[in-house]
């Protein structure tokens, strides 16, 4: 079977789909990833073959002028539609030339489903982890409906043949979705010796994701200075880490270490509320302090806080003092750890990507 994956040019979007892509590859299927050039290096590092669509299209190039990247709690789909406008013709041509049996895409990639519908082949929607609440997604879709209609050019896009849901059941996933265990992937590294040693103090990881925006640097700065007042070992990873000046004593600025290797030894994960980071912490059974800054991160922070596995700091209130207070509450209350462990057990009980890959054969 030939399977084409389509996704937007951001590492977090790719990372969530790598385990299923590899499950299909190991099953003997041909897998091809269609992404703009900026994501090709990450695709190759993941061992996946890629095709260029949309040229050099990127989030930073196509983000609507005059709009801040961070701080907006409303879901904004304009940039995703702009990306689809750039990739549509290339993905359509790729589907005609390569003739896949199945297209697998993510929730805000709009060219893949359109090309699949035009070619008369089934497509599958894979969610990243914690889905955006349906009402919020519909409001955002309404604002870009005229552009999506123009993109579709009179074609009514078929509904997905299958929707894959990696959200733990108790957090409320996608109605009618096919469950699949979330398997963390965010590239590889050589494990440093210090990571293999038991920490003498509670270890806290701080990361603001893979998108290097100024708000992420601000969040990192607030987090490390806030944690400096607690008796913890702090490690800082992810985008923007080298832009943080005047690190407090004892804070370790590390290179790229996959969170599935780092988080099991941590007592707390402080991050931006991205879906990949949130799901990595849930899979490791670790409490989270969320500092959402853009897109669906606000909804994720609200959901995880309500579930008792996290606390969050509203965007306007991000500061060192708030981090110190909220982190202290999380580290001082075993209830957060217990709830996080329960959610990790839920994830472990879900069907593996390999099992879901086998079921996709029936869609041909």
Residue 187 reports pLDDT greater than 80: yes
Q: Are residues 132 and 265 in the same domain?
A: no
Q: How many CB atoms lie within 10 A of CB 170?
A: 11
Structural domain boundaries, residue 35: 2-186+350-363
233-247, 314-328, 350-364: which has the minimum mean pLDDT?
A: 233-247
φ, ψ dihedrals at 345, nearest 5°: -65, -35
Question: 173 in the Ramachandran plot: left (φ > 0), alpha (ψ -120 to 50) or beta?
Answer: beta
Residue 140 tokens read as: 């955002």
H runs (alpha helix) in 133-286: 134-143, 145-152, 214-227, 259-262, 275-284
pLDDT of residue 239 exceeding 70, the answer is no
Q: To the nearest whole number, what is the mean pLDDT of the chain?
A: 91
212 versus 196: the higher-pLDDT residue is 196
Residue 55's nearest CA partner among 13, 86, 89 is 86
Residues 208 and 263 in one domain: yes
Taking residues 109-125, report their average pLDDT: 98
pLDDT band at 41 (very low <50, low <70, confident <90, very high): very high
What's the confidence (pLDDT) of residue 119? 97
- Domains identified in the chain, total number: 2
What distance in Å separates the CA atoms of residue 286 and residue 123, rounded to the nearest whole number?
A: 34
For 233, half-sphere exposure in the C-beta direction (CA atoms, 13 angstrom radius) is 16
pTM exceeds 0.75, yes or no: yes
Statement: residue 246 has pLDDT above 80:
no
Q: What would the mean pLDDT of 113-134 be, rounded to a whole number?
A: 93
Angle of helix 134-143 versus helix 145-152 axis, rounded to 10:
70
Query: pLDDT-based confidence at 247, cuts 50/70/90?
Result: confident
CATH code, domain carrying 61: 3.40.50.2000
225 and 102 in a common domain: no
Q: Do 173 and 197 reside in the same domain of the chain? A: no
């Amino acid at each position: 079977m030939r399977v084409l994956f389509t996704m937007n040019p951001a590492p977090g979007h790719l990372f969530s789909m790598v385990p299923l892509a590899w499950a299909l590859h190991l099953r003997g299927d041909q897998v091809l990833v269609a992404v703009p050039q900026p994501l090709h290096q990450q695709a190759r590092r993941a061992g996946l073959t890629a095709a260029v669509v949309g040229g050099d299209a990127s989030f930073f190039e196509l983000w609507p002028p005059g709009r801040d990247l961070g701080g907006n709690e409303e879901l904004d789909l304009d940039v995703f539609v702009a990306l689809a406008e750039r990739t549509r013709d290339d993905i359509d041509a790729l589907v005609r030339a390569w003739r896949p049996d199945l297209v697998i895409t993510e929730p805000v990639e709009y060219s893949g489903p359109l090309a699949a519908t035009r070619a008369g082949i089934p497509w599958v929607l894979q969610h990243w982890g914690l889905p955006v609440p349906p009402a919020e997604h519909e409001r955002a879709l309404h604002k870009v409906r005229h552009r999506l209609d123009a993109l579709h050019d009179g074609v009514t896009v078929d509904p997905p043949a299958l929707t894959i849901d990696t959200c733990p059941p108790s957090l409320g996933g996608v109605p009618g979705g096919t469950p699949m265990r979330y398997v963390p992937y965010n590239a590889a590294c050589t494990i440093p010796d210090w990571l293999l040693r038991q920490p003498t103090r509670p270890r806290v990881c701080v990361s603001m994701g893979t998108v290097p925006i100024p708000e992420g640097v601000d969040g990192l700065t607030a987090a490390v200075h806030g944690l400096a007042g607690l008796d913890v070992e702090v490690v800082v990873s992810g985008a923007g880490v080298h832009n943080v000046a005047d690190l407090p004593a004892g804070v370790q600025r590390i290179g790229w270490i996959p969170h599935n290797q780092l988080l099991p030894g941590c007592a707390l994960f402080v991050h931006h509320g991205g879906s990949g980071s949130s799901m990595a912490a849930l899979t490791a059974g670790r409490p989270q302090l969320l500092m959402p800054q853009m897109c669906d991160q606000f909804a994720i922070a609200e959901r995880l806080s309500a579930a008792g596995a996290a606390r969050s700091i509203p965007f306007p209130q991000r500061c060192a003092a708030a981090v110190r207070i909220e982190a202290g509450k999380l580290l001082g209350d075993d209830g957060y750890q217990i709830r996080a462990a329960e959610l990790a057990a839920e994830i472990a009980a879900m069907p593996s990507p390999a099992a879901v890959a086998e079921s996709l054969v029936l869609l041909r």
